[in-house]
Amino acid sequence: MLVFLAAAILHAGIAEASPAAPLVVLDPGHGGSNAGTRGAGLHEKQLTLVLANLVAQKLRAGGVTVELTRTDDRTLTLRQRIAHANRRAADVFVSIHANASPTRTQRGYETFVLTARGVDVDGRALRSETTTPRPGTDADIALVLDDVERGASQWEAADLAARMQRALRDRRGKDGDRGVRQDAHHVLLGATMPAVLVEVGFLDHPIEGKELADPAVQQLLANAIAEAITEQLAE
C-alpha cells in the first residue's frame, strides 16, 4: 500500500514539475579560479565549456531545452551545480570533465554514477539544499518525493552512463573505453534526476591531450554526449 501510494505521489509530483519539452542541464566542469587540469595549452575549464556549448547546440536542434550551469568563466561550488538542476526540475544532468594522471600515461574516457552510499546517505544529508521545488505540495511530502526520485533515477543514470560509453566508443575506439564506474562525486550528490559525470579523456596525456584540443575531436565528443542524452530522453 505504501509503495503504491509513493508511486502515485511521485507520478503527481513529476506531472506538476516537468516542462512541456525535456530539460537537460549541462555542467561544464570547473571554471573561474578552479581551472582543472591542463594540457596541450588548454585548461580543463575551457575545454568543458566548449564541449557543453557544442552539446547544447546539438540538443537544441533536436527540440530539447538546455541550460548550462555556467556560460562563462566563473567559479561555482559543486552544490550550486546540482542545486540548479534540481531547482529547474531537469530531466537529465550531465557534468562534463577531462581527466589527469600523475604519470601522464593514462588515457581514455569513462562515465561515473553515484555509489549506493552516495544516493542513500550523502544525498539525503544534502537534501535541504538540493530539494526540487514542488508548488502546492506539502513540504514533508516533497522530501519523500525527492528521496524516491533519487533512488529511482539511479537505474536511469546507469542506463545513461552505458549509452554515454557506447556513443564515445563508437567515435573514439574501444581501446580507450574505461567503462562505467561508481564514485561519490559531490557534483552528483542530491540529484533527483538521472545524473552522470563524464570524463572525455586525459587532457595531460601527450597524445590524447592534443586530440582533445582539436575542434574536430571536440565535435565528435559533443555528438557522442548529445546522442546518449537524446536516446535516454526517448525511452
Secondary structure of residue 200 in the 3-state scheme: strand
Q: What is the pLDDT of residues 78-111, one digit of tens each?
A: 999 999 999 999 999 999 999 999 999 999 999 9
Q: What pTM, to 2 d.p., does this model score?
A: 0.81
DSSP 94: E
Closest CA to 38 of 150, 203, 207, 228: 203
What is the pLDDT, as a whole number, of residue 3?
39
Distance, CA of 57 to CA of 97 (rounded, Å): 18
Locate 12 and state its grid cell.
503527481
Domains of the chain: 2-234 (3.40.630.40)
The pLDDT > 90 percentage for the chain reads 69
**Cβ contact 76:31 at 8 Å:** yes
